[in-house]
Amino acid sequence: MCGIIGCVGRRGDTLDTVVHGLSKLEYRGYDSAGVALVDGDDLHVVKKSGELDALRSVLGGGLEGSVGIGHTRWSTHGPPTDTNAHPHRDCTGDVAVVHNGIIENYQTLRDELGAAGHSFQSDTDTEVVPHLIEDELAAGSSPETAFRAAVARLEGSYALACVVAGTERVLVARNDSPLVLGLADDATFLASDVPAFREFTDRVVYLEDGEFAELDADGWTVTDADGVAIEKSVHTIEWDAEETGKSGYDHFMLKEIHEQPRALRQCLRGRVDELGGRITLEELGELALDRVHLVAAGTSYHAALYGAELLRSSGVPAYPFFAHEYATSPPPTEDALVVGVSQSGETADTLAATREAQRRGVETLALTNTVGSTMARESDHVLYIRSGPEIGVAATKTFAGQQTAFNLLALATAPPADARELIAALRDLPSDVQQVLDESTAEAVADVYLDSDAYFFIGRGLHYPVALEGALKMKEITYEHAEGFAAGELKHGPLALVTADTPVFATVTGDGEQARKTIGNVKEVEARDAPVVAVTDGRSDVERYADHVLEIPESHPRTAAILSNVQLQLVSYYTAAKLGRSIDKPRNLAKSVTVE
Ligand code: F6R
């Protein structure tokens, strides 16, 4: 959370470049935004609470500078006000700093600096940094030495960028918060994430924890804490800048829902040998799954629940854990593979869990969307879901990508008896998702239930994670009360919540025992006058008990849980759109949660 950007080398264009970068990073936080530009001996800082447009409205013209940094904030210390917005400055106004992360010892530092006469403007942890630098500069240090000395005092997580009046350079440090450099012929960038500068270059350098960087007109250098130069590899980004635009859709979320057929094709490409009835995941080599622990948060946790169920039904003992709990109370892990499931590969809770596993010598696998992310780099193995950039805060195509990747992992390591049928279903999955998107009546259903008291989602087996995910999507983008339940649990308590004003979305596919039992639960809510929306492939008679039906094509039971989720994504999207919610930037949320 929080996005930072910096650039050197775009004189005349620096402000526009920084603000453009912030627009691409807003998914990381949108409580406030700000910029700092060095113009010779002057340092200009402009910042404003609210979304980026609020900053744009106060920027005006005439702000010059050859070196710039910017920040978009997701509040951790102090409310989203103008003064708490970054960049933060020292007492002289000559040092400006932007920060993503949490400085854990800030109170001690603040007390110490306050006692020495420094005056603070904000409630943030970040503000101690420019004041520490100020002291070092006053003692005669160069800006680079002052920055290093200040960083050495910090405990916690940080991606930091600093500019000092009179120096045409950006100073950078990283610990536990993502940072990547972008290398263009005429400019050098730094950012929390690649979309911030993808328009200008596809060449990047990922910084590691404990590394420092300096960007100036001559280029860039990366050093360790002692100032020793580090040789870094330059990577090439394989997706285009256009992929981070809305392509004519009203919202990124809707665009990303519609991108699912393509995202799933990418996930499957080169990995499925239908004739041979085999899956090849070259990146995993001979990896054996004797016992698996899956650690994740939010939507990725729902994917982990789904993945664990798949693996268990193929005979592999696999258990999902909330990452934050796994990190602090890890279960016994002998011979387990720990799989970190994370779209971003930067979620602090999930990284803490995989790091705890590594600390105990346990093998790790990252199942992630983000090439070069911290989790991808730190894990022993990586399985990319290849969904392409996801900008909407609500995860959609990447959940489908995670579900699909789990199918590949299960097929490759513990193929079910009906592996050939599943492989055929995976082959058809992108076009089946397209059919759902083309024929869905979710918008009309959303219209009918706009004034509901609450929305409930039920499912059994592989549809249970889908019920949880349906409810999470609904609550995060509509701000309405929504809950997901294992269908069989309804009668053990939640049924008390069910009324004529609480529609129940039931996912029922196939015509087996699970379908029959879930239909029993549907009858229970129907008897309490609750409206029922059935998501179904039409193979059972659930339609008889439903007020509305959202159809999906017949598929394998494992892939049916991917298709049914698409219908629920659309219901949430259209409900939020009709309620006029901020769909891509829901209140209080950020896409990438890089604090624990
Ligand atoms: C919900 C959502 C979040 C994330 C969670 C984990 O739509 O996006 O719940 O799933 O913050 O993020 P990653 O997958 O990046 O670890």
In this predicted structure, the answer to whether residue 61 has a pLDDT above a threshold of 80 is no
Indicate the top mutation candidate among 343, 396, 477, 569 to test ligand 1's pocket, ranked by most ligand atoms within 8 A of CB: 343
Of the given ranges (132-141, 327-336, 508-517), which has the lowest mean pLDDT?
A: 327-336
Indicate the top mutation candidate among 300, 406, 583 to test ligand 1's pocket, ranked by most ligand atoms within 8 A of CB: 300
446-466 average pLDDT score: 97
18-36 average pLDDT score: 94
Q: Hey, what's the torsion of the CAs at 223, 225, 226, 232, to 10 degrees?
A: -20
Of the given ranges (73-87, 220-234, 302-316, 553-567), which has the lowest mean pLDDT?
A: 73-87
| 308 vs 387: CA distance, rounded Å | 21
What Å distances lie between residue 517 and 464, 506, 521, 525, 540, CA to CA? 13, 12, 7, 13, 11
Atom 7, ligand 1: which residue's CA is nearest? 394
In this predicted structure, the answer to whether residue 62 has a pLDDT above a threshold of 90 is no
Q: How confident is the model at residue 274 (pLDDT cuts 50, 70, 90)?
A: confident
Task: Answer yes or no: are the C-beta atoms of 387 and 265 closer than 8 Å.
Answer: no
What Å distances lie between residue 6 and 82, 192, 315, 463, CA to CA? 20, 10, 50, 44
Residues ≥6 apart with Cβ < 8 Å to 270: 280
Distance 256 CA to ligand 1 centre (A): 15
Task: Answer yes or no: are the C-beta atoms of 235 and 205 closer than 8 Å.
Answer: yes
Query: In the prediction, which pLDDT does 74 show?
Result: 87
Distance 298 CA to ligand 1 centre (A): 5
Indicate the top mutation candidate among 27, 344, 474, 581 to test ligand 1's pocket, ranked by most ligand atoms within 8 A of CB: 344
Nearest to 196 by CA among 452, 466, 2: 2
Closest ligand 1 atom, residue 593 Cα: 11
Distance 78 CA to ligand 1 centre (A): 24
Atom 9, ligand 1: which residue's CA is nearest? 298
Task: Answer yes or no: are the C-beta atoms of 328 and 317 closer than 8 Å.
Answer: no
Neighbours of 267 (CB within 10 A): 27
Nearest to 31 by CA among 585, 433, 554: 585
Active site residues: 2, 591
Q: How confident is the model at residue 239 (pLDDT cuts 50, 70, 90)?
A: confident
Distance 485 CA to ligand 1 centre (A): 20
Query: In the prediction, which pLDDT does 98 show?
Result: 98
Q: H helices of 116-270, where? A: 128-138, 143-152, 252-258, 260-268
Tallying the residues shown for the chain, one arrives at 596
Of the given ranges (124-128, 329-333, 411-415), which has the lowest mean pLDDT?
A: 329-333
| 565 vs 560: CA distance, rounded Å | 9
Closest ligand 1 atom, residue 297 Cα: 6
Q: How confident is the model at residue 105 (pLDDT cuts 50, 70, 90)?
A: very high
Task: Answer yes or no: are the C-beta atoms of 592 and 72 closer than 8 Å.
Answer: no
Q: What residue ranges in 472-578 does DSSP mark as E strands?
A: 482-486, 504-508, 532-536, 548-551
| 413 vs 402: CA distance, rounded Å | 16
- Phi and psi angles of residue 241, each rounded to the nearest 5 degrees, phi first: -60, -35
Query: In the prediction, which pLDDT does 511 show?
Result: 95
Q: Roughly how many angstroms between the first and final C-alpha of the chain, as a whole number?
A: 11
The pTM assigned to this predicted structure is 0.86
| 560 vs 562: CA distance, rounded Å | 5
Closest ligand 1 atom, residue 591 Cα: 8
Task: List pLDDT tens digits, range 466-488.
Answer: 999 999 999 999 999 999 999 99
Token pair, residue 385, equals 């879901």
Query: In the prediction, which pLDDT does 395 show?
Result: 98
Q: What is the maximal distance between C-alpha atoms in the chain? A: 81
Query: In the prediction, which pLDDT does 60 show?
Result: 77
Closest ligand 1 atom, residue 349 Cα: 16
H-helix or E-strand containing 476? Answer: helix 463-478
CA quadruple 220, 226, 231, 235: dihedral positive or negative?
A: negative
Name the amino acid, one letter, at 214.
Answer: E
Query: In the prediction, which pLDDT does 275 show?
Result: 81
pLDDT averaged over every residue in the chain: 95
Atom 3, ligand 1: which residue's CA is nearest? 298
User: What angle in degrees, to the nearest 10, is found between the helix axes of 397-413 and 260-268?
Assistant: 20
Q: What percent of the chain has pLDDT over 70?
A: 100
Task: List pLDDT tens digits, range 143-157.
Answer: 999 999 999 999 999
Q: Where does ligand 1 bind, in terms of residues with CB under 6 Å?
A: 297-300, 342-344, 347, 350, 394-395, 472, 476, 592-593
Query: In the prediction, which pLDDT does 27 show?
Result: 86
Closest ligand 1 atom, residue 394 Cα: 7
Query: In the prediction, which pLDDT does 184 show?
Result: 96
| 83 vs 73: CA distance, rounded Å | 12
Task: Answer yes or no: are the C-beta atoms of 32 and 21 closer than 8 Å.
Answer: no
Q: How confident is the model at residue 205 (pLDDT cuts 50, 70, 90)?
A: very high
Distance 225 CA to ligand 1 centre (A): 32
Token pair, residue 383, equals 């399985």
Token pair, residue 58, equals 């106060």
Indicate the top mutation candidate among 192, 299, 369 to test ligand 1's pocket, ranked by most ligand atoms within 8 A of CB: 299
Task: List pLDDT tens digits, range 329-359.
Answer: 988 887 899 999 999 999 999 999 999 999 9
In this predicted structure, the answer to whether residue 278 has a pLDDT above a threshold of 90 is no
Distance 318 CA to ligand 1 centre (A): 21
Atom 5, ligand 1: which residue's CA is nearest? 298
Nearest to 166 by CA among 69, 217, 94: 94
Distance 350 CA to ligand 1 centre (A): 10
Neighbours of 285 (CB within 10 A): 8
Distance 466 CA to ligand 1 centre (A): 15
CA quadruple 276, 282, 286, 290: dihedral positive or negative?
A: negative
Atom 4, ligand 1: which residue's CA is nearest? 298
**Preceding omega of 557 cis (within 30 degrees of 0):** no
Distance 395 CA to ligand 1 centre (A): 6
Query: In the prediction, which pLDDT does 307 show?
Result: 98
| 61 vs 106: CA distance, rounded Å | 36
Name the amino acid, one letter, at 427.
Answer: R
What Å distances lie between residue 279 and 67, 269, 274, CA to CA? 49, 11, 8
Distance 297 CA to ligand 1 centre (A): 6
| 575 vs 444: CA distance, rounded Å | 10
| 450 vs 454: CA distance, rounded Å | 10
Atom 16, ligand 1: which residue's CA is nearest? 342
